[in-house]
Amino acid sequence: MVVGDPWAKIDPSRLRPLGAAGFQEPMLATLTDRRFSDPDWIFERKLDGVRAIVVRDGGRPQLFSRNNKTMDRAYPELVDALDDQPETRFVADGEIVAFDGRQTSFSRLQPRMHLTDPAKARATGIAVFLYLFDLLAYSSVDLTQLDLRARKTLLRAGFHFDDPIRYASHRNENGEDFYRQACASGWEGLIAKRAASTYQHGRSKDWLKLKCSYGQEFVVGGFTDPQGSRSDFGALLMGHYADGDLHYAGKVGTGFDQRTLRDLRRRMEPLIRSTSPFSHPVRDKVDERTVHWVEPELVVQIEFSEWTGDGRLRHPRFVGLRQDKPAREVVREAGPAL
């Protein structure tokens, strides 16, 4: 609960006039192995969903992915809820999630992510929620030069938080205890944020990702033929970029249902090429002569147990297809140096 007028505590010299309210490149967290407590940092739950920049400029609210693609038609009930907010001009940052039990689940969100018919999106029966955690602009004012605590206070005061719109709460100081609780609860991890930081567009070390388990995006560079009763394809060959080259990271053959197998094969078919997109030969019990190479355009989310010493994934599992991150931005996020 916000007590008093939060705007009265704002230094007006740090406010800038807002022109048109529109999409802004989101601030991105940097992965870290540090586990720390610090009174100058706050700690939020890392949600397993889809990033959303929420924009309203006097008319109907809009939802944008992190790479500036509209998502309004996939989540019409969120747009309706934002349309009921008291302010008609704002830019906010948040995460769209669906739940599998008590856990946010990217896999659970998959059937809705790629829909463009609002009626079909509602008909899936998959409930979605929008967690807001930052405020970039409100009314006629740009807030990006305010410190994080001030922005979150204004966010809390400026919106009505009733389902499906939720406020992303945080904890102060005790990051190590919160991290242990997060992992014990089965969460993906935490986001640590420097409390005095301004809102920076792009990757920043003022926001840090503290993951409980390994998982990140990879680029699809090829696929193998199906074996036995399997249809469409056997496994995806994946990689990540480093110094402009696509480095092979392993193959994944688990985590697919029949619909996903069919959909991915349909998406890969027009991308087939004659040569490997990887910078080095694939030596992974794969006969390269039988691999179907593809243009490195599709990005998939993968969970795995660890990186091996030679830069391969151990026990990878497919989680979902991502359309909110360009393939060229996919780099190795964790593990020992290659």
What are the catalytic residues? 46
* Nearest in space to 256 (alpha carbons), one of 107, 48, 47: 107
- Paired with 54 in beta bridges are 63, 92
Find the angle CA(33)-CA(151)-CA(47) to the nearest 5 degrees. 40
The beta-carbon contacts of 174-181 under 8 Å, at least 24 apart in sequence, are: 174/37, 174/43, 175/35, 175/36, 175/37, 175/38, 175/41, 175/43, 175/210, 176/35, 176/36, 176/37, 177/37, 178/43, 179/35, 179/43, 179/210, 179/212
* CA pair distance 109, 125, nearest whole angstrom: 11
Interacting residues of 291 by C-beta distance below 8 A, sequence separation 6+: 222, 223, 224, 237, 276, 282
The number of helix segments (H) and strand segments (E) in the chain equals 6, 23
Tokens representing 250 are 């392993």
How many Cα atoms occupy the beta-carbon half-sphere of 140 within 13 Å? Answer: 1
Residue 169 CB neighbours (<10 A): 12
- Give me the sign of the Cα torsion angle 335, 257, 268, 123: negative
Q: Which one-letter DSSP state was computed for residue 159?
A: S
Measured CA to CA in angstroms, residue 174 lies from 41, 49, 167, 181 at distances of: 9, 25, 20, 11
Residue 156 CB neighbours (<10 A): 16
